[in-house]
Chains A and B, each alone.
Chain A
């Protein structure tokens, strides 16, 4: 048995049944990282020593019957914008290249309390700003399906790690699509939960009113189990909501008879790659064949989402990133004069181009004289988008859409044209503006062999509907798409997943 071929939930079960030790599980993944990460660059930090030590402790707790959950002993990779006590947390920025947090993010702590073992911190776009994982100070992450292509972003490292079998499970964060889009590019499953479901305490903020932490895994069952563990009412995060409906694994039933699924026409027009469109429509037909009622509808406010998003996210980012000034922690420039010289040099040298661009954009839209015209207008647009979705969800249980207009672009193709990169977020950002939950699941490949992801969106707090629909699709198609890596070489394989899934 190859430990790496197991999903997180399967691995957890084998550990509980004493067929696999936690140490074996952790070592299998550390070995894989060693074998492939020089090519993929999913990780900023691999915590070999810490993970092995933690494995022993978790094993003891499992043996003593103190840890009985589905994720006990399961290795997990954590996006490098989530604070981990005593473990380097960089946000993939030179600015935090030496930052060791004194505390652990609540989302990570929840996983650890459930017995998951953090094996390392994953690469990302610097401060989660980007859609390709190329803006990292630690170099770009590559798409395991084709290393000439990007893995998407900003949670590119986490998605690539899961796709390349470097971790069975990973944490990402999603501000404008940063879990769903790279999940689609990497052929894995990722959930962006309803805003307020997972604590943001310890998540290094990008756009505070949009950021949400979520799971990335190889199938829907793993994501459901992880989300169930991640969701908590954390008093340290005032925007965190108390939910009693977090039995997400209970929603793993392949029954969508009568489920009303709407397809927004505006998402299937100009700019959408024909092959992606074909795969998504095929998936829609699969869901219809399972008994869902699928129809098209108009989502009028789509064109306003991108400008509203970039105004709000950049404005919040310009303020959130002000604390990186060289005074308290992180990078401080050498050779400066006076206080303002220190600020300027430190920030000029510590931040990359995309981060600076968004700080400038954000500072501009908040400036006196421009606030009403930009920021306030964007907030109003956000409210209108939310209102429109409220109406849509009176008619539909689920909205079905692509996760991205294309499959993964080639490395370097997006950075030269930021506007084009911003526009590629078109299908994902409305979800953040309205605080909705979304899932991305693989539905096929294009002619170049790159994965296509379908996005399902539900009303706030209706993650169970997403999980049910996604799980139904998985069962109906009898397959999971994953990038298989054997003996350190990359090759793409399709796995028969049905049997595995059913035994969960």
Chain B
């Protein structure tokens, strides 16, 4: 490629709010459940049914707006977005166009290169749609309205991002903020956080925007990165060949690593928005805003500083742990219980992250309690179990949240500190391995390792390795 190009990216992020009930009726928002069991006349679009706004949705949306430095629209309204699709039972979606709840905010992101602000154009409340299920056997489509009416906020950024790295940083930032607020669990895989990427390219130095495309169906950070890279290259190739980029919506296929056009601007739907006549305007008082603001939790940035100061954690550890509200909470509670913040941090940074990755889970899914992690730390620190036993026990804690004290007791995993028993075993090992003993005595330090290993094995791992080392040297 002869020219230098700049990528310009803006994001539309949909986030499912963690309310117990739906936005306009009292049906449960629980994920899963038998098809059409969390439904009523309102969320299935029955004739004559009317929406009633869930106050909690407004409060969560306000919290999200305030935490991202937005201005709250104190008289905001809902509008109808009209389009036909079977997952949309009324054939209109209740959303906000003219007076969205929050506008003109920003979040600060940090990448290897620099810190920067990504501006938020607006944030609005709306209802989610149901799900279509195609029955291949019967060759028909079925619709499940359990998700219909689950509250969403859509966060629309300005086109302020220039790389996949910045996009991921922005999404991680949003996710952390929303999780800290407790307004959403933001799980990409379950679809509680979904991002549409608007992307265009332009020659470096140009101030005009190129023609953008919108990409949908991105359900992991990796998919988002790959899609951005793929779309960027596709657009540059078109420009290099002198062909125009067509303004259209494209669907990303992460398996094929390619995007396909869904609909072009020409078939863009006219949503015929108009003010929702079934709902009255929402009046948000200064007091209400202050109340929501007062409930704001300690956010990540503040936590990182505090962890460094209060717990003496390295900045790196503090950042990793506070990336997830769930992990930060767990850390603070476990540290409080056992008084060993650095040890707790080590378990979280090391084994916990390893097992999460292996199981393809997110920190929000951490299944064990702070009590059991604290007990494990205590057992190790007191020398009751050694570190390799501790790892084994931790796997149990991670998998089943077992009580480590009870588990160690039941399985007889305590380190044997009985010198007599250990000496007996060591003497047997020395007697059975004359060659290794001779090697060690001949100056081969390595040979000691094998003897320690055999001793530990004979002790079923329940000895203190340092003690074994010491005693072996003595006996030889």
Q: Which positions 167-218 of chain A face chain B at CB distance < 8 Å? A: 200-205, 207-209
CB of A437, distance to nearest CB on chain B (Å): 19
Interface SS of chain A: loop
User: Which single residue of chain A is at the shortest CB-CB distance from B24?
Assistant: A238
Instruction: Mark each residue of chain B from 79 to 115: 1 if its CB lies under 8 Å from any CB of chain A, else 0.
Output: 0101010100111100000000000000000000000
Whether the pair B274, A371 counts as a contact (CB closer than 8 A) is: yes
Residue from B48, B53, B80, B86 in contact with A319 in the complex, judged by beta carbons closer than 8 Å = B80
The answer, yes or no, to whether B246 is at the interface (CB within 8 Å) is: no
Chain B 35-84 residues near chain A, CB threshold 8 A: 41, 44-53, 80, 82, 84
In angstroms, Cα B24 to Cα A235, docked, is: 12
Which range contains the number of B residues in contact with the other chain?
20 to 34
Q: Does A489 contact B (CB under 8 A)?
A: no
CB pair A204–B280 under 8 Å, yes or no, is no
Residue of A at shortest CB range from B278?
A208
Q: Which residue of B lies closest to A343 (CB)?
A: B84
Give residues of chain A (326-375) contacting chain B, Cβ–Cβ below 8 Å: 327-329, 339-340, 343, 363, 366-368, 371, 375
Instruction: State the CA gap A322–B50 with chains docked (Å).
Output: 15
Q: Given A83-B47, A83-B48, A368-B270, do A208 and B280 touch, yes or no (CB 8 Å)? A: no
* A323 close to B (CB within 8 Å): yes
A366 and B52 in contact, given A319-B274, A328-B45 (Cβ under 8 angstroms):
no
Q: Is the CB of A322 within 8 A of B52?
A: no
Q: Verify A202–B274 contact, CB threshold 8 A.
A: no
List residues of chain A with CB within 8 A of the CB of B275. 379
Tell whether B442 is near chain A: CB-to-CB under 8 Å: no
Q: Which residues of chain A in 275-325 are interfacial with respect to chain B, using CB atoms and an 8 Å cutoff?
A: 315-316, 318-319, 322-325
A239/B280 in contact, CB under 8 A: yes
On whether the beta carbons of A367 and B272 are closer than 8 Å, the reply is yes
Residue of B nearest to A347 (CB): B84
Q: Which of A204, A315, A367 contacts B47, CB < 8 Å?
A: A204
Contact of B277 among A316, A329, A371 (CB under 8 A): A316
Find out whether the CB atom of B84 lies under 8 angstroms from the CB atom of A319: no
Residues of A within 8 A of B274 (CB): 315-316, 319, 366, 371, 375
Main secondary structure of the interface of B (DSSP, over half): loop
Q: Which residue of B lies closest to A203 (CB)?
A: B48
The yes or no answer to A99 lying at the interface (CB within 8 A) is yes
Q: Which of the residues A238, A340, A371 comes within 8 Å of B279, measured between beta carbons?
A: A238
Closest to A105 in B: B48
The 0/1 profile, CB within 8 Å of A marked 1, for residues 264-308 of chain B is 000000101111011110000000000000000000000000000
Given contacts A208-B278, A363-B272, A368-B270, is CB(A325)–CB(B49) below 8 Å?
no
Whether the pair B46, A235 counts as a contact (CB closer than 8 A) is no
Report the separation of the CA atoms of residues A316 and B272 in the bound assembly, to the nearest whole angstrom. 11
Which residues on the B side are within 8 Å of A366 (C-beta)?
A: 82, 272-274
Decide if A238 touches B53 in the complex (CB within 8 Å).
yes
Q: Is B143 an interface residue (CB 8 A)?
A: yes
By the criterion CB–CB under 8 Å, are A319 and B46 in contact? no
Interface residues of A in 59-102 (CB under 8 A from B): 81-83, 89, 91, 96, 99, 101-102
Taking CB atoms and an 8 Å cut-off, the chain B residues in 295-331 that contact chain A are: none
Tell whether A237 is near chain B: CB-to-CB under 8 Å.
Answer: yes
Cβ A327 vs Cβ B86 within 8 A: yes
Distance of A91 Cα from B279 Cα, bound (Å):
23
Give the distance to chain B from A340, nearest Cβ to Cβ, in Å: 8
Contact across chains for A367 and B278 when beta carbons are under 8 A apart: no
Chain B hits for A239, CB < 8 A: 277-280
CB <8 Å contact, B92 and A236: no
* Cβ-defined contact, B84 with A103, below 8 A: no
Contact A323 B90 (CB under 8 A): yes
Nearest A residue to B51 by beta-carbon distance?
A: A238
A327: B residues at CB distance < 8 A = 86, 89, 143
Interchain CB contact under 8 A, B270 and A367: yes
> Complex formed: what's the CA distance from A49 to B277 in Å?
38
Query: Hey, which chain B residues are within 8 Å of A238, CB to CB?
Result: 50-53, 278-280
List residues of B (8-53) whose CB comes within 8 Å of A's CBs: 41, 44-53
> Are A99 and B277 in contact, with the CB atoms below 8 A?
no
Task: List chain A residues, Cβ under 8 A from B86.
Answer: 325, 327, 339
Partner of A328, one of B89, B270, B277: B89
**A235: chain B residues within 8 A (beta carbon):** 52
A363: nearest residue on chain B (CB-CB)? B272
Are A328 and B44 closer than 8 Å at their CB atoms? Answer: yes
Taken together as a complex, chains A and B put the C-alpha atoms of A457 and B396 apart, in Å, by 77
Known A239-B278, A319-B80, A322-B82; judge A204-B270 contact (CB<8 A). Answer: no
A-side contacts of B49, CB under 8 Å: 103, 201-202
B48/A205 in contact, CB under 8 A? yes
Q: Is the CB of A236 within 8 A of B47?
A: no
A105-B48, A327-B89 are known contacts; what are 17 more A-B pairs with Cβ within 8 Å? A83-B47, A83-B48, A200-B48, A202-B49, A205-B48, A235-B52, A238-B50, A238-B51, A318-B82, A323-B90, A327-B86, A329-B46, A329-B47, A339-B86, A366-B272, A367-B270, A371-B274
A-B contact pairs, 20 of them (CB 8 A): A83-B46, A101-B48, A102-B46, A103-B41, A201-B48, A202-B48, A204-B48, A208-B277, A208-B278, A209-B277, A236-B50, A237-B50, A322-B84, A322-B90, A322-B91, A323-B89, A339-B86, A363-B272, A366-B82, A371-B272
**Interface set of A (CB-CB < 8 Å, partner B):** 81-83, 89, 91, 96, 99, 101-103, 105, 200-205, 207-209, 235-239, 315-316, 318-319, 322-325, 327-329, 339-340, 343, 363, 366-368, 371, 375, 379
Top 5 closest pairs, chain A to chain B, by CB: A322-B91, A366-B272, A208-B277, A209-B277, A202-B48
